[in-house]
Amino acid sequence: MRVSVIGAGYIGLVTAAGCAHDGHSVVCIDTDKSKVDSINQGTSPLYEEGLDELLSHCVGVAGNLKASLEHQDILGTDISLICVGTPSNSDGSINLGDVREAARRIGHVLGRKKDYHVVVTRSTVIPGTTTDVIIPLLEKYSGKRVGEHIGVAYNPEFLQEGRALKAFFNPDRIVIGEFDKKAGDILAGIYQGISAPTFRTDVTTAEMIKYASNAFLATKISFINEIANICHKLGVDVYQVVKGLSFDYRIGDKFLSAGIGFGGSCLPKDLRALVSASSTKLGYPAPLLRAVLDVNETQGLKIVEIAERKLGDLDGKKFAVLGLAFKPNTDDVRDAPALRVVRVLLEKGASVKAYDPEAMENAKAVLPPGVEFCNSAGEAIAESDCVLIMTEWDEFRDESLYKGRIVIDGRRALDPRKAKALCDYQGVCW
């Protein structure tokens, strides 16, 4: 199939590379020239395991993937996948600016296309967006009828950064929300080579499945952090409690790692958007989901409270911050708990030496001046008064790195028993 992907961010690039790997002919359209140039040289503009190799193969060897600045390239394709960002507005509501712009541009181009074309949204959008926003824009700018000349579908992505390609090729499920059946059939054709349960439904249900999925994952994390905080006061290890829980098949052991809480470009933003849309548009204040956000907000700064208990006034204290990415195996620092903690430490007059194996450039771009970026964990740790482990990269898991130091572990990166034998070790909630 001939596929156009609109947006070369994490989701767009992984989708484009995944489709090309599966034999489709793909053009990835983005307005950022540096990204387009990088892709056309077979190099990924972002860090994601396996993506560089796959892009280099599809662009350079197979020749079935290219990037472009021109939306008119949509004309040579059968299906367009909208994969643009949907960031938060300052009040937490979803910003659909890029989605609207994509729909306008696609509509404009499709006004000139004779054959039926399918438009699929993969960006996370508030339920109702496809029918209330995307379809009207496509019809307005193309002058054509959706359901007749243009097919429309919503196809949520469930990719986790750091293992996004694996998740693309081995998904737990494929959800196809179809406005018209023909669009759903054509979209299903993209995934022909992938073996996974496929659930076909209407577009608004598919949009809600995406939100419900992220809201549930976030709820699991805040739930276990709340249990961990209670356990900590009792002197009970929450990780042992989770082991005991996990034998119940209804509960399992996934997404129950207690620590400094969830960050990233999805869980916090999507939860805020769902709470905002539910409260303002539907009149339902979503108290449980608000509590999930509140627990996460408080959890993120517990590590600073512990440091204050251990060191007293933080003014003039020297911190080593290990890990800046919101989780390991990515260079993404969006809504990363580490960034918030670094800002608070600086406000309190502490000095910060930071290290992350992949996320330093992205962190440098958003952190205030005053942070010293190091070339290794050892360099950051040397001469520090206190080490904070903010991301559980494998290279931080070596207890011998911390000999004689005060260490506060936000991610259960270390084995507490081994660490306590070597340093002054404290888990954030264990």
Residue numbers of the site for ligand UGA (CB under 6 A)?
Answer: 124, 157-161, 214, 217, 221, 255-257, 259, 261-264, 266-267, 326-327
Q: Smaller CB distance to ligand UGA: residue 177 or 259?
A: 259
Please tell me which residue in 266, 374, 386, 423 is annotated as part of the active site: 266
- Supply the minimum distance, in Å, between the C-beta of residue 390 and ligand UGA: 10
Task: Collapse the DSSP code of 198 into the 3-class scheme (helix H, G, I; strand E, B; otherwise coil) and give the result.
Answer: strand
Rounded alpha-carbon distances, angstroms, from residue 140 to 23, 82, 96, 99, 321: 33, 18, 17, 15, 51
The tokens of 89 are what? 């507005």
Q: Smaller CB distance to ligand UGA: residue 158 or 373?
A: 158
Q: Smaller CB distance to ligand UGA: residue 25 or 214?
A: 214
Q: Where are the alpha helices (DSSP H) in 64-155?
A: 97-110, 129, 135-142
Q: Smaller CB distance to ligand UGA: residue 175 or 217?
A: 217
Rounded to an integer, what distance in angstroms lies between the CA atom of residue 164 and that of residue 367? 26
The tokens of 294 are what? 């509140």
Asked whether 263 and 327 are in contact (CB, 8 A), the reply is yes
Interaxial angle between packed helices 302-311 and 337-347, expressed in degrees from 0 to 180 and rounded to the nearest 10:
40
Q: Smaller CB distance to ligand UGA: residue 21 or 122?
A: 122
- Supply the minimum distance, in Å, between the C-beta of residue 84 and ligand UGA: 13
Residue 258: count of CB within 10 angstroms of its CB: 27
- Supply the minimum distance, in Å, between the C-beta of residue 218 and ligand UGA: 8
List the one residue out of 43, 42, 5 whose CA is nearest residue 24.
Answer: 5
- Supply the minimum distance, in Å, between the C-beta of residue 220 and ligand UGA: 7
Active site residue 266: yes
Rounded to an integer, what distance in angstroms lies between the CA atom of residue 348 and that of residue 173? 46
- Supply the minimum distance, in Å, between the C-beta of residue 256 and ligand UGA: 5
What DSSP string describes 105-122?
Answer: HHHHHHTT--S-EEEEE-
Would you please indicate which residues are annotated as catalytic (active-site) residues? 266
